[in-house]
Chains A and B, each alone.
Chain A
């Protein structure tokens, strides 16, 4: 947050004092993404068989939230050039000239270190290592390398978004188990249909920025097929927590019902390929995918939430 910063690209190249507000720095943390990360990490923490002290659990969640925000700031610092070209992102603090990329980079690095230290001290060093790995994976492997080089960017990069429940679980137990890996797998397989449904609608935007999303590289037909395949693997996999005992009967019912709707929308997206009907099908799948993931994790939370609320040892 230096007082003097580089001027916006459209200026005369001199230096001027920053007019960035705290809100701009908050925006660098991608609060909407952060809220999803906190929600899934909370779920990992709650479903764990060991219940940590609530203060330490809160600090762990805070660390995961800050770590997610730091990843967002690092991502925005690196992607400012392409963010400037896309309608969805050109209003972000760096492309709009409110915050310098170097400031966002420093902000992200400091928050990364802080978040890893915080979870290490409040929970354990396994969760700290996992959080550090997640930040590095998102900022370096996804942002710097995969995003601009392969249409599989969001598939592999999705691992970063899928790790928060594993971190939450590890913060509570100090271990990684099949249960936490199951939560990882659900988010990991959910990511491609979710993002590619959006990419079908925003392919012009991504093409303008030169980001090789699946619809731009392999075409909409191949994207629709891959959405269908990933959905067909995701829906049965999402019922597994019911069989392993991680989720109860309510989870089983919700996973089956919402899974059926998800499959229906994926098939509709696959079949409707032209005009407004195609856009509508992609939009419906995108919107429902958010609700789907939210419901699965919300039911897990609700089923396991009461024991969590009991006094801690």
Chain B
């Protein structure tokens, strides 16, 4: 039977701080990646983006 008082892993304040910092860093990197892929796509397509049959 599982003890209802078991809380699992409890992070220390330092661990929480570093986890938060890592999460923010990952969010920033993923955001920049999205921008990079968008800008790269536009740069790759260039003026050819309008060069199609309508």
A105 interface residue, CB < 8 Å from B? no
In B36-50, the 8 Å CB interface with A consists of 36, 39-40, 42-44, 46
B22, B39, B43, B44: the one contacting A21 at CB < 8 Å is B22
| Cβ–Cβ contact A22 & B9, under 8 A | no
B4 interface residue, CB < 8 Å from A? no
| Cβ–Cβ contact A19 & B15, under 8 A | yes
Chain A at the B interface: SS class: mixed
Residues of B within 8 A of A18 (CB): 15, 18-19, 22
A1, A16, A25, A55: the one contacting B43 at CB < 8 Å is A55
B21 interface residue, CB < 8 Å from A? yes
A258 interface residue, CB < 8 Å from B? no
A17 interface residue, CB < 8 Å from B? yes
- When C-beta atoms are compared, the residue in chain A nearest to B25 turns out to be A22
- When C-beta atoms are compared, the residue in chain B nearest to A57 turns out to be B43
In B1-54, the 8 Å CB interface with A consists of 9, 11-12, 14-15, 18-19, 21-22, 24-26, 36, 39-40, 42-44, 46
Query: Interface code A1-42, partner B: CB below 8 Å = 1, 0 otherwise?
Result: 101100000000000111111100100000000000000000
| Cβ–Cβ contact B21 & A21, under 8 A | yes
Of B14, B15, B22, B26, chain A has the most CB atoms within 10 Å of the CB of B22
Number of A-B residue pairs having CB atoms within 8 Å of each other in the complex: 44
Bound state CA distance, A126 and B20, in angstroms?
Answer: 39
B11, B24, B40: the one contacting A17 at CB < 8 Å is B11
- Nearest Cβ on chain A to B53's Cβ, whole angstroms: 25
Bound state CA distance, A19 and B12, in angstroms?
Answer: 9
Chain B at the A interface: SS class: helix
State which size class the interface on A falls in: 10 to 19
Q: Given contacts A4-B9, A20-B22, is CB(A59)–CB(B15) below 8 Å?
A: no
A1, A16, A122: the one contacting B22 at CB < 8 Å is A1
| Cβ–Cβ contact A55 & B39, under 8 A | yes
A56 interface residue, CB < 8 Å from B? yes
Residues of A within 8 A of B25 (CB): 22, 25
Residues of B within 8 A of A17 (CB): 9, 11-12, 15, 19
| Cβ–Cβ contact A1 & B26, under 8 A | yes
B18, B19, B26, B43: the one contacting A56 at CB < 8 Å is B43
- Nearest Cβ on chain B to A55's Cβ, whole angstroms: 4
| Cβ–Cβ contact A53 & B15, under 8 A | no
Q: Give the A-binding residues of B (Cβ under 8 A).
A: 9, 11-12, 14-15, 18-19, 21-22, 24-26, 36, 39-40, 42-44, 46
Closest 4 CB pairs of A and B: A22-B25, A55-B43, A17-B15, A19-B18
- Contacts A21-B21, A56-B40, A122-B44 given; 17 further ones with Cβ under 8 A? A3-B19, A4-B9, A17-B12, A17-B15, A18-B15, A18-B19, A19-B15, A20-B18, A21-B18, A22-B22, A22-B25, A25-B22, A53-B43, A56-B43, A59-B40, A121-B40, A121-B44
